[in-house]
A = this chain, B = another copy of it.
Amino acid sequence: MTIDHSPSTRRVRLGANYVPSDGWFYSWLDYSADAVRRDFEDLAGIGLDHVRVFPIWPWIQPNRALLRQRPIDDLLSLIDVAAEFDLDVAVDLLQGHLSSFDFLPSWVLTWHQSSVFTDRTARDGISHYVRRVSAEIATRPNVFAITLGNEVNNLWPANTSTPAASRHWATELLEVVRAAAPTVLCLHSVYDDAWYAPDHPFQPADAVDLGDLTTVHSWVFNGTSRIDGPLGPASTSHADYLVELAAASAPDPHRPVWLQEVGAPRPDVPPEHAAEFVARTLDTVAPNPALWGVTWWSSHDIDRRLADFPDREYDLGLFTVDHRPKPAALALAQFARGAAAETAPARPAVVCPIEPRREPARRAEIAPGSEFHTEWVRVRQTGPTAIVTPDRAADGDYLAARDIGPVPPTDAAQPATVHA
């Protein structure tokens, strides 16, 4: 697989979610371009082409009416440092949520408690932030995407929402981003409860309808590692499974899917298996014709002197805090040096029992460990395997557009496998 810097091709982009090695995201408060330079040197050295970066919302907008210029300038500096290493940059705006911590400004907390999703005043304030930061970073040619925020659905339930409110919120803010930054990808981001939890107020329809492509975040601690361990097919195919679910759920058969986060978390993936987990996960997902790119979580470990992170968060880095590449980094580098991925023509498909976009209440039927997931994992071991929703299982044009072979009609309640 070769890395191509043009987002218009189908070749897979490869990058890392940037976690600063010195002081985690707290380092924004004491920004050092040199510290960023040293970190980005690590990432460019293993052949990555982009970074996804995370400013901290309340430090930029401590008052609803105050947008501080200095941290915006620091963000621009970081983007420019990335350019020194030919790294393109995706910026997430509303952090918001990072590795179990929520950063929320005092103007939406306690005596000012208001939901960032439903309160009109809070939303207007957020729009102001989104507009300003988007416009500023759009001045930089190496910025290719703006995401509303990292896994914004983790801000619920602390911030109340409903499916309608969540969708309206994201729709409105994406329009703000698009107007302020018309040349970049405008994106929404949710963690996988949006795909698997029946009552979750962020839904598959949001993921596949909103923004310029679909983003998915694949974490084996959310179910698959309990099925067959760190190197079992359920674990190492979970990223591909989510990409397929997203592709199958999108109205547009050509809508790309960005595997925006995937990582090798302890203890689900013990350190001695991390490299193999990386290789198998990437080899499994790479041939997927819907795959737009892969962004590993994360660039660097978290210093163990910092407190209160879930234990699995500390050691997710490709590099240690003192810049030593870990086995996962070497596996990623090897993947980056590989040949372009060949997509399998006329793949077989497993017919999904539900239409995730229209039947969110049935999401449990496609969650890890479900009958459907189990069947897909079984078939996936024989080679690239698509997912198709029952309503389109007989639509030849649609199937062809997704490189799927003919699928006979099937009872939606029973997964049906058809080899092309």
| Chain A interface residues (CB < 8 Å from chain B) | 23-24, 26, 29-30, 59, 62-66, 68, 70, 100-104, 106-107, 109-112, 121, 125, 154-155, 158, 305-308
A63 proximity list for chain B (CB < 8 A) = 24, 26, 306-308
Contact status B29-A62, CB under 8 Å:
yes
Using Cβ atoms and an 8 Å threshold, which residues of chain B touch A305?
Answer: 65-66
Residue of B nearest to A28 (CB): B62
Partner of A26, one of B62, B102, B104: B62
Taken together as a complex, chains A and B put the C-alpha atoms of A158 and B113 apart, in Å, by 10
B contact residues around A65 at 8 Å (CB) = 305-308
What are the residues of chain B within 8 A of A101 when measuring CB–CB?
Answer: 106-107, 111-112
Q: What residue in chain B is nearest A112 (Cβ atoms)?
A: B308
Min CB–CB distance A310 → chain B (angstroms): 9
CA distance A204 to B306 in the complex (A): 38
A125 contacts across to B, CB distance below 8 A: 307
Chain B residue numbers with a CB within 8 Å of A103 are 106
Residues of B within 8 A of A308 (CB): 63-65, 107, 112, 121
Would you give 7 A-B contacts (Cβ < 8 Å), ordered by A?
Answer: A24-B63, A65-B305, A101-B106, A102-B106, A102-B111, A104-B110, A110-B155
Per CB-CB distance, the 6 closest pairs between chain A and chain B, nearest first, are A65-B307, A101-B106, A102-B110, A110-B158, A64-B307, A26-B62
**What is the chain B residue whose CB lies nearest that of A59?**
B29
